[in-house]
Amino acid sequence: MTVMEYRNVLAEFQGEEGELIPILQRIQEKFGYITEDAIKNISPFLKISENQIYGVASFYSQFRFTEPGRNSIKVCMGTACHMRGGQILGEAVERELDVKPGQTTKDKRFDFHRVACLGCCALAPVIQVNEDIRSRMNVIKLKEMLDKYE
């Protein structure tokens, strides 16, 4: 991503403070995530400090600040999943992939997120990988499952 590419995105806007969210959405749509450089370019354009931009952007869970992995793994931390070992599954993912929530593995194979209820509590504990819901997970099944993703 070059400065020129960010400028091309910003050229679609007027430079008004209220455009912050649409600009962030456009950047994420185009580049996959909000980079530090993007924030550096938006700041003078909208005359808002970088800290304010981070503050606003991190309030919305739709924005991500790390490059997405080739696969996305979400471990449910909702009540039903939590009661049935969601926390242990989350820790197992961290250990197996050497990754923290909100990060992407060094080899870019997975990005990892802890999320609220995925809406299928009867299948708890649940993990979502890309579009697939994996139900009644345990640590053994988790390890086997991770190996299947390139």
Residues near ligand FES, by CB under 6 A: 76, 78-81, 117-121, 124, 126
Closest C-alpha among 148, 78, 144, 74 to residue 116: 78
Position of minimal CB gap to ligand FES: 78
H or E element, residue 127: strand 127-129
Q: Checking DSSP bridges between strand 127-129 and strand 110-115, what pairing results, if any?
A: unpaired
In the complex with ligand FES, the residue whose CB is nearer, 24 or 75, is 75
Q: Provide the minimum distance between the beta carbon of 60 and ligand FES in the complex, in angstroms, as a whole number.
A: 22
Indicate left, alpha or beta for 128 from its phi (over 0: left) and psi (-120 to 50: alpha): beta
Minimum CB separation of residue 27 from ligand FES in Å reads 31
Task: Output 48 or 133, the one with its CB closest to ligand FES.
Answer: 133
Task: Write down the least CB distance from residue 104 to ligand FES, Å.
Answer: 23
